[in-house]
Structure 1
Amino acid sequence: MDPWLSMYDFTYHLAQEIAEKIHERNRYLRNGENPVKINLSVRTLLKRLEESIGQLRDSLLRSVSTRQITQLEGDRRQTLIDELLTKERQLQMSFKGDGTEPDVIRSSLMSGGGAGPSPYNPWVLEEPEETRGLGIGDLKQQQQRMIREQDAGLDALSNIIARQKQMGYDIGNELDEHNEIIDDLTNLVENTDTKVRNQTRHVKLVDKKSGSCAMMVVIVLLLIAIVVVAVWPSN
């Protein structure tokens, strides 16, 4: 990129930064605050802006005299320098003001010294429509109203969080109760299963004993029959 154009771009944004700081200084003044630090910064930046515009002008003269650029391009760049000089004067006037008429200063910067305002002003930050033209008292009331609205919103959010927290506790308690019921059912099933196994073993034992008794009865009857046959007199 052409060094001159780079220098112009730097100077352009420097002027924009100064306009923003002056706008901030004016807001401090309207709020009754002390803008000492901002004033010192603006003075330093204005001095740098003046030096930068001077460097642009000297560099342009050298380029035109040595025919490094065309006359048409030289005229275009001179117009850019003239616009920067106009902005510098507007910034100086705005900085010297007491900050009590920000709309007048803003209109002057937006007009650019021409017949009407431009659709976009890169030199200043626009003040929000809701605060434009309000005094210190009105600004304080608006600030207090905004704080009350924020507090109300925070209270509503806190209530929602509290309800969700209580719902979490209730769900946790219900799960604990369900787990206790499941544990009781598990114990009941285990106890029942143990009783069933015991009863099964008892039935098998009784059945085995019953079989042994029947066998013993048969043997006894056979023995009796043999004895009877042995002692029964033959004819």
Structure 2
Amino acid sequence: MAPDPWLPLHAAACQLAQEVAERIQERNRCQRNGESPAKLNVVLRSSLQNLREKIDQLKDLLLRAVSTHQITQLEGDRRQNLVDDLLTRHKQLQASYKNEGPEPDVIRSSLMTGGAKRGVTNPWLLEESEETRGLGFDDLRQQQRRIIEEQDAGLDALSSIISRQKQMGQEIGNELDEQNEIIDDLTNLVENTDDKLRNQTRHVKMVEKKSTSCGMLVVIVLLLIAIAVVAVWPTH
């Protein structure tokens, strides 16, 4: 089974978002120190665009996986939450890049601690489960790989069950075909026997009719002989 491209792409998007936050923080330090942030702004614009494209790819892959039942509905909902969180983070980074939002270090601190600072809540960790809380990217990749392996094992078991059921269905179909052939043979045998019985019955009736005709003929002949004898017999 081909590996699921969604999970590595999500991890890459998260890593890119973290890098954008760090570059925005670096850009802001340059501005405070009177240095030119022009190069960083070019890199940031490209990175933000790249992040948006990765999020769009995640949305497309998720829609395809759900529509073709490659993942369960529960997993689809979980991934949709992750996509929504990425969209929220992208908006925050976009606002910070335009100096319209909180400092990236504030966002990063809120994301890492799960708390709130300067009125900014953490939209990522509110939905995070206890199993993934505090895990790094490598740990998340290992966990995701383990989940995929478990799903593959489950799919293999399901495929084996379906194969056995298919084999049983074929055997039942073959047995039904044999039973139908036996029934057809019995039907033909009964029809042949019925035809023979009708023929024999018709033959018996013909014999009876001939026997009756022969008996009457004998009686008539005897009567004629008797009449002839009487006629020729001399009278005294």
Same fold (TM over 0.5): yes
Q: How big is the shift at 1:32?
A: 9.4
Residues 32 and 220 of structure 1: is their aligned pair in 2 closer, same or farther, counting only changes over 3 Å? farther
Partner Cα separation in structure 1 for residue 210 and residue 142 of structure 2: 102
Larger Rg: 1
What is aligned with 1:112?
119
Partner Cα separation in structure 2 for residue 176 and residue 152 of structure 1: 36
Partner Cα separation in structure 1 for residue 163 and residue 131 of structure 2: 35
Task: Name which structure has the greater RCO, CA cutoff 8 Å, separation 6+.
Answer: 1
SS at match of 2:115: helix
What is aligned with 2:51?
38
Aligned-residue identity in percent: 56
Partner Cα separation in structure 1 for residue 17 and residue 216 of structure 2: 121
Alignment of 1:4-153 (within 5 A): 27-28=14-15, 36=48, 37-38=50-51, 43-46=93-96, 50=100, 88-89=101-102, 92-94=104-106, 97=108, 102-104=111-113, 106-109=114-117, 112=119, 121=121, 124-126=123-125, 127-153=128-154
Partner Cα separation in structure 1 for residue 19 and residue 224 of structure 2: 132
SS at match of 2:131: coil
Deviations 1:43-72 (A, max 9, x none): 54446783xxxxxxxxxxxxxxxxxxxxxx
Q: How big is the shift at 1:41?
A: 6.3
Partner Cα separation in structure 2 for residue 201 and residue 145 of structure 1: 84
Question: What amino acid is aligned across from residue 112 of structure 2 in structure 1?
Answer: D
Question: What amino acid is aligned across from residue 162 of structure 2 in structure 1?
Answer: I
Deviations 1:179-208 (A, max 9, x none): 111111111111111111111111111111
Residues 44 and 35 of structure 1: is their aligned pair in 2 closer, same or farther, counting only changes over 3 Å? closer
Q: Structure 1: 5+ residue runs without aligned partners?
A: 1-23, 51-87, 114-120
Residues 155 and 102 of structure 1: is their aligned pair in 2 closer, same or farther, counting only changes over 3 Å? same
How many residues in Structure 1 have an aligned counterpart in Structure 2?
Answer: 161
Deviations 1:91-111 (A, max 9, x none): 54345x5x8x9423x3234x8
Residues 31 and 180 of structure 1: is their aligned pair in 2 closer, same or farther, counting only changes over 3 Å? farther
RMSD (CA atoms):
3.5
Partner Cα separation in structure 2 for residue 217 and residue 129 of structure 1: 117
What is aligned with 1:201?
202
